[in-house]
Amino acid sequence: MYIFAILLLSQNNMFEPSKVLQFAEYLYDQKYYSAALNEYRRYLFLTDTTYELVSEKIIDCLIRLEKFDEALKESARLKDEMKSDFTKGLIYFLAGKFDSSRTHLNRAGIPYKENARRLIGLSYAQEFKFQNAAEYIELPKDVPKYKKPVLGALFALCPGGGHFYCGRIGDGIFSFLVISTASLLSYYYYDREEDIKFGIALGATILFYAGNIYGGINAVRNYNYYQNERYLSAIEVKFTHESQ
């Protein structure tokens, strides 16, 4: 379809600026963003007048193509400083550079202020800073409930306890069985006075036990991360529904 459109429009003076713009709009509507970008730029090259709308379409194409550095350069050319700051904030947000995003979004005033505040709140949410996010956006009520790493370590003093604390029953049972087996083997070889095997079994027991404590702490971290991810997902769903 893309090639067909080129052949069709080439019959009608493709170097006329209005036709170039028409073709660019067609490509954009068909989601051929890379090709549309080239045509928008060709239009600006051919015409003496720079339309703000065309610059915005170029920026949008660059964002969709994830060419964020180029998009930032284009946004700096926008004549409206408020729009330029808001656009830069949006680009940094989509690029995952949230500190830079907030720097520009905080400068954005009317008519971009409300959307800027929403993006600032979402940027904090992306970093799991939900208390900061709550100052800018309304968050879902089912806030995350976290486990404490210190308690994970304390419970892990009993083999598998850290995993049980986080609800990971299978991992807890596995840790308990491994350490119990290693401990029994150590006692077995000690009772038989097989010093070399006892030393190996004891070393394995200590290693597994230390790993069990680390695993208990790590289980808490994973649990808390999952809670943050779940809550962030709820926030994104909420704002997706509100924007529709």
What per-residue string of b and e applies to 125-140 under the rule 16 or more CB within 10 Å gives b?
A: bbebebeebeebbebe
pLDDT band, very low/low/confident/very high, at 161 (cuts 50, 70, 90): very high
Q: In whole angstroms, give the CA distance from residue 180 to residue 81.
A: 67
pLDDT band at 29 (very low <50, low <70, confident <90, very high): very high
One-letter amino acid of 16: E
Strand, helix or coil for residue 38: helix
- Residue 242 has a pLDDT of 65
pLDDT at 190 over 50: yes
Q: Which of 44, 113, 96 is nearest to 74 (CA)?
A: 44
The pLDDT of residue 173 is above 60: yes
pTM, two decimal places: 0.79
Inform me whether the pLDDT recorded for 222 exceeds 90: yes
Per residue in 52-69, pLDDT (tens digit) is 778 899 999 999 999 999
Q: Which residue has the tokens 């807890």?
A: 172
**Residue 1: what pLDDT?**
52
pLDDT at 50: 65
Query: What single-letter DSSP state applies at residue 136?
Result: T
User: What is the model's pLDDT at position 49?
Assistant: 66
**Over the chain, what is the mean pLDDT?**
88
Give the CATH architecture of domain 81-139: Alpha Horseshoe (1.25)
Percent of the chain topping pLDDT 70: 91
Beta strands in 2-156 (DSSP E): none
Q: What is the pLDDT of residue 175?
A: 92
The pLDDT assigned to 7 comes to 46
| pLDDT attached to residue 98 | 95
Task: Return the pLDDT at 14.
Answer: 58
Indicate if the pLDDT at residue 3 is higher than 80.
Answer: no
Q: What is the pLDDT of residue 8?
A: 46
